[in-house]
Amino acid sequence: MSDQKNIKPIQVFAGEFWQASLVKQLLEDNDIPAFMENEHMGSIAPWRIEPGGFNPFKVIISNEQYDLAVKLIEEFDSAPDELDANSGV
């Protein structure tokens, strides 16, 4: 087990609410605890989260699981779209 002092929160994703929700669920399904920063404030006052409201929802995990999380997110992003596969595009 690693030293508790070396564990730090780290951002692995920033985007719109629906994107961050998918990423958070993907990580949790793979036993990586994650939380969304600004999840509730984004619904209450989205203009107050960041100037211009650009990518206000962030997914945060432990730095110990960063490499695995990035790999899962990259695989998810590079997976072919099911709609494109079904339409023959």
**Which residue is it, tokens 């596969």?**
85
CB 5 within 8 A of CB 55: no
Structure tokens at 43: 């619904």
- Domains in the chain: ranges and CATH: 8-87 (3.30.70.1530)
DSSP state of 3: -
Contact 61, 20 (CB under 8 A): no
pLDDT in tens, 42-54: 566 655 555 555 5
Decide if 47 contacts 24 (C-beta within 8 A): no
Q: What is the pTM of this model?
A: 0.73
pLDDT digits (tens, 9 = 90+) for 12-38: 998 888 889 999 999 999 999 999 987
Place of tokens 């790999």: 71
